[in-house]
Structure formats: C-alpha cells, structure tokens
C-alpha cells in the first residue's frame, strides 16, 4: 500500500496540510514620515523587517508558603527594518527629514540650539505591515501606531565589497493592532481524477 494525499497531515484533524505563509511576501507602508504624505521610497527599498513582539511583565504574588504570577503591563519590542540605499537619495532624505522632525541635528539647516519637537504629534508616524498572498491581497496586517526612529545606522563603506549599501532603522512604537484576514487554503492541490 502506498501513501496518498489523504495520508498527509495529522490523522483525524482534517487530513491535508494548511498552506504556510512565506516570509518573502510582505509590504511596509509608512504614513506621515519625513513630513511627506507618502514614504513610498521606504516601502520600495525595505528588504528585511521584524514582526512585532509583545511581552508582559510578570507580577509576583507572594503568599504564606506559595507564589503565583499574574500578567502586568505589556511592552512592544522595537522593530528593525533594513533598507537598500538608492542612488537618488530618497531613502536617506526621508530618514534624515524624519530625524530633523524629532530634533534638528544633522540636516543642512540645523539650528544652533538643537530644538526638539514640542510633542509626539510633531514627529511620530505610523507603519502598516502587510503579509501578502502571491499578489496584492493582504492576509494579515499589523498597524504600528505612535512610531518613531529610535536609532538609524547609516551602514559602512568598504572598497573590497560589491554589495549594496544598506541603512538599518530601529522603530520604537506605542501600540500595535493586528487584523488577521486569511484565506483558507491547503498546501496540496488535491486528488487527481481517476480515469
């Protein structure tokens, strides 16, 4: 007796294997970054990105001779994004413009007293992280709200290298919301007709 498609997966749990989502089908959209309506260059040049990570602070409850734990405040870890630098300078321009919104430090028109933004609304933005199907349909979306660039690493230069120049940014954000839409699909194409 040979195995058939009915033997895939776990017996008694539906048989077939659910189609896994691939890591290379995603898109980032930056909203209100760099004092621009669109951060399209960042969307086009993003090559790696973390997904949000959330953890709860454990609160220890001590009693007579025992100990229990409950969930305390939650924290979202920063997200790292790597961009390829374009020769037109759009990626670097947007990142620098966003830094200038936070505090005038490295731009051509830096102020002598390095003024900082009055409030978060002056420099925070949002990021939409979409997991896509093979085309343009979003199967799962994370909305990162109250985002700002905690660090920007402008990369390094090397005469011996021939790869692309990359910039890595660490995005700190206040909150993330997730919208899971999904499409029910199986990893196998199904049975072939018997002639």
With beta carbons less than 8 A apart as the criterion, state whether 46 and 28 touch: yes
**Structure confidence at residue 7 as a pLDDT band (50, 70, 90):** low
Whether the pLDDT of residue 6 is over 90: the answer is no
Average pLDDT of span 188-194: 68
Q: What are phi and psi of 134, to 5 degrees?
A: -65, -10
Q: How far is CA 2 from CA 5, 14, 98, 118, 127, in A?
A: 10, 19, 61, 70, 50
Instruction: Give the tens place of pLDDT for each residue, 126-156.
Output: 999 999 998 889 999 999 999 999 999 999 9
Q: Judge residue 3's burial from the number of C-beta atoms within 10 Å of its C-beta, 0-12 exposed, 13-18 middle, 19 or more buried.
A: exposed
Q: What is the pLDDT of the chain when averaged over all its residues?
A: 86
∠ at Cα 42 (37, 43), nearest 5°? 90
Share of the chain above pLDDT 90, in %: 59
CB neighbour burial string for 53-92, b if at least 16 within 10 angstroms, e if fewer: eeeeeeeeeeeeeeeeeeeeeeebebbebbbebeeeebbb
- Quote helix, strand, coil % in the chain, to nearest 5: 15, 40, 50
């Amino acid at each position: 007796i040979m195995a058939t498609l009915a033997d895939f997966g776990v017996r008694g749990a539906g048989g077939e294997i659910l189609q896994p989502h691939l890591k290379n089908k995603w898109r980032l959209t930056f909203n209100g970054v760099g004092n621009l309506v669109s951060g399209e260059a960042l969307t086009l040049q993003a090559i790696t990105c973390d997904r949000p990570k959330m953890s709860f602070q454990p609160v220890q409850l001590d009693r007579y001779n025992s100990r229990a734990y409950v969930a305390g405040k939650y924290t979202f870890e920063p997200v790292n994004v790597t961009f390829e630098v374009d020769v037109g300078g759009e990626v670097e321009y947007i990142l620098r413009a966003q830094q200038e919104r936070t505090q005038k430090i490295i731009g051509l028109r830096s102020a002598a007293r390095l003024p900082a933004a009055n409030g978060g609304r002056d420099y925070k933005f949002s990021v939409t992280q979409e997991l896509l199907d093979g085309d343009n349909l979003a199967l799962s979306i994370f909305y990162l709200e109250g985002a700002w660039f905690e660090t920007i690493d402008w990369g390094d230069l090397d005469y011996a290298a021939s790869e692309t120049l990359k910039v890595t940014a660490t995005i700190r954000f206040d909150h993330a919301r997730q919208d899971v839409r999904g499409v029910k699909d199986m990893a196998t194409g199904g049975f072939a007709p018997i002639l």
